[in-house]
Amino acid sequence: MRGLRIAALLILAYAVALAVNAGIYVSWSADFRELPRLIIRLGGAMLVAYGLWTSARWAWWGGVIFSGLLTALGVLLVYTGVATGFAFLARRPYPAVDVLFFAVSVTTLAAAFVLLLLPSSRQAVATGRRDWRA
């Protein structure tokens, strides 16, 4: 049960980092074309975090898919960046902030992914325990 709660908090931390990074980018570029995609990602992250907090079975699957897919994409992006010397960050206003965001997002989502795959997390979802003290 604690693994689910910690995973929910990690996914929520990712959502906060996503919002801060988007705010920095929009304040620099005044480009609002990415706003719908941001709202979908924030809504999905918050929905999964809420579901994990309440030990919903659907949220476990959503959390595994959400965190696993975004972790894999983040690792691929970091690998591509290392291979190209992070050339794609040259057009960005604050490359250091982007690298920090990548590191935070990959780390938090990978930790949430691992926590969700622990046997205790799978058992808490399978039994449907909703004990707030556990």
Residue 132 confidence (pLDDT): 47
Residue 130 confidence (pLDDT): 56
pLDDT tens readout for residues 95-123: 788 888 888 899 999 999 999 999 888 88
Residue 63 confidence (pLDDT): 94
| Res. 128: pLDDT tops 70 | no
Residue 88 confidence (pLDDT): 76
In a domain, 100, yes or no: yes
In a domain, 71, yes or no: yes
Structural domain of 91: 2-127
SS (H, E, C) 75-93: HHHHHHHHHHCCHHHCCCC
Number of domain units in the chain? 1
**Do residues 15 and 42 lie in contact, with contact meaning Cβ atoms separated by under 8 Å?**
yes
**Do residues 1 and 110 lie in contact, with contact meaning Cβ atoms separated by under 8 Å?**
no
In a domain, 133, yes or no: no
Of 25 and 57, the one with more pLDDT: 57
pLDDT tens readout for residues 23-49: 887 887 777 887 888 899 999 999 999
pTM: 0.84
Query: Contacts by 43-50 with C-beta closer than 8 Å and gap 24+?
Result: 45/11, 45/12, 45/14, 45/15, 45/18, 46/12, 46/15, 48/8, 48/11, 49/8, 49/9, 49/11, 49/12, 49/15, 50/8
In a domain, 47, yes or no: yes
Q: Determine the average pLDDT of the residues in 75-81.
A: 86
In a domain, 40, yes or no: yes
